[in-house]
Amino acid sequence: MGLSQLVLVSPHSFPDPVATARAAGADDILANARVVGSLAEALEGTVFAAALTARRRELAVPMKWARDAAGDIVSRTSFGDVALVFGNETVGLSNEDVSLCHMPVKIPVSAEYSSLNLGAAVQVLCYELRMAALDPGEPPNLESELATFEQVEGFFSHLDRAITASGFFHPSNSKRLWPRLRRLFGRIQLEKDEINILRGMLTAFEKK
């Protein structure tokens, strides 16, 4: 998601072969992780910290949903390093941990399954930060040339001739048929190459 600094507070086992395997293509981030003895040490030098928490707590600062928090968190990065603080898989963060942070953040979950796996929670929050920080632009579709209005109309004229000649298109059903054909092909938003394919097919039918 574009984040590059990982700090581990008193990890159970580090480096650990299971963690390295799961890090897949991002094992450099794990290998460069800074290991510290306390959360306070981890937060040294940061200007803002958001704490992910699943539990309802009596807190000085109101909780925010991940989506609403993301913009605030990103805006703080112009002042310096910002920390996302996650508890461990089993017990999460202590109240003392949360009190060292500026913003408690929660991910909306189903009432029946109230807590996410740690990895899932990290992924969602980092994804929201990426979405808040970067406009992803257009999805990476291969470019294909859309047919122009004239090309589509040329195809419709060709189709008209072909189905009239074939006997499929009787003047009696023309009123019902054309709107349905236009609706069908209009939804597709035909490409130039596709028009050529369709007209090739029509030409083949006409010759037969």
Query: Closest separation between CB of residue 125 and a copy of itself, Å?
Result: 10
Q: Nearest distance from residue 117's CB to a copy of itself, in Å? A: 6
User: What is the chain's alpha carbon radius of gyration, rounded to the nearest angstrom?
Assistant: 29
Q: What does DSSP assign to residue 148?
A: P
- Angle formed at CA 75 by CA 72 and CA 81, multiple of 5 degrees: 105
Closest separation in Å from C-beta 207 to a copy of itself: 27
In whole angstroms, the minimum distance from the beta carbon of 42 to a copy of itself comes to: 23
Torsions phi, psi of 5, nearest 5?
-110, 125
Task: Pick the piece of the chain touching a copy of itself (CB under 8 A) from 62-70, 155-163, 176-184, 196-204.
Answer: 62-70
Question: Binder to a copy of itself among 10, 11, 15, 22 (CB under 8 A)?
Answer: 22
Tokens 């309802």, located at residue: 56
Q: Omega before 140 cis (within 30°)?
A: no
109 near a copy of itself, rule: CB under 8 A: yes
Q: Which residue has the tokens 């040490």?
A: 41
How far apart CA 92 and CA 95 sit, in angstroms, is 10
Contact region with a copy of itself (CB under 8 A), list: 92-100, 101-109, 150-158, 175-183: 101-109
Q: Which is nearer to a copy of itself, 8 or 118 (CB)?
A: 118
H/E stretch holding 7 reads strand 7-9
Residues near a copy of itself (CB under 8 A): 1-2, 22, 24-26, 56-59, 62-65, 67, 106-110, 113-117, 119-120, 123-124, 127, 130-131, 134, 136, 139-142
